[in-house]
Every structure is written in structure tokens, then in C-alpha cells.
């Protein structure tokens, strides 16, 4: 996946939550575009987001290791 492809996913309106599945089998849910930061080599995803939109933690997902992007159900719980 490239940064451009990832940015396109984040720009979709309405936004559609998705899951990044890494080559290791680990996954990371992207539930809102404002909790994601994209660099040239990584995606940083805020997780355990509070009601005020502030993430408790973050997970770094190297772009090189993103194997697939899968849609999430909008009623799925946060990881």
C-alpha cells in the first residue's frame, strides 16, 4: 500500500471504517480519519479513543507490511 492509496481511503465521504491487516497477521482498526497520521513510511493509528475523540494509545503500522485493507462494520467495537 502506498501513502496515496491510504490517504484516498481516509478522504472517502462518507468515511468507511476499515481494518489494516499486516503481513504478520496483526490487525488495526481505523474507525475515524481524524485518529490517523500518515508519514512516508508508516501509518500511526490512535486506538482506544475516548468519547472526546482523544486516543489513549497509538499503533504504528509500517506501510510496507500492510497486506490487506478490509471494511469494518460501522457497529463494530473499537480494539
Q: What is the pLDDT of residues 5-21, one digit of tens each?
A: 899 999 999 999 999 99
SS (H, E, C) the chain: CCHHHHHHHHHCCCCCCEEEEECCCCEEEECCHHHEEECCCEEEEEEEECCCCCEEEEEEEEHHHEEEEEECCCCCCCC
Nearest to 61 by CA among 9, 14, 11, 3: 3
Domain positions in the chain: 3-71
Domain 3-71 CATH (choose: 3.50.50.60, 2.30.30.100, 1.10.10.10, 2.40.10.340)? 2.30.30.100
- Position 62 scores a pLDDT of 94
The answer on pLDDT for 77 being more than 60 is no
Chain center to CA of 35: 8
Residues 31-66 pLDDT 10s:
999 999 999 999 999 988 888 878 889 999 999 999
Q: Please report the pLDDT score of residue 78 as a whole number.
A: 45
pLDDT value for 58: 93
Look at 21 and 2; give whichever has higher pLDDT.
21
**CB neighbours of residue 59 within 10 Å:** 18
Amino acid at each position: 500500500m502506498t501513502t496515496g492509496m491510504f490517504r484516498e481511503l481516509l478522504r472517502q465521504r462518507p468515511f468507511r471504517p476499515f481494518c489494516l491487516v499486516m503481513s504478520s497477521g496483526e490487525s488495526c482498526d481505523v474507525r475515524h480519519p481524524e485518529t490517523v497520521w500518515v508519514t512516508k513510511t508508516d501509518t500511526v493509528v490512535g486506538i482506544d479513543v475516548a468519547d472526546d475523540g482523544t486516543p489513549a494509545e497509538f499503533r504504528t503500522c509500517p506501510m510496507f507490511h500492510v497486506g490487506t485493507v478490509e471494511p469494518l462494520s460501522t457497529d463494530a467495537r473499537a480494539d
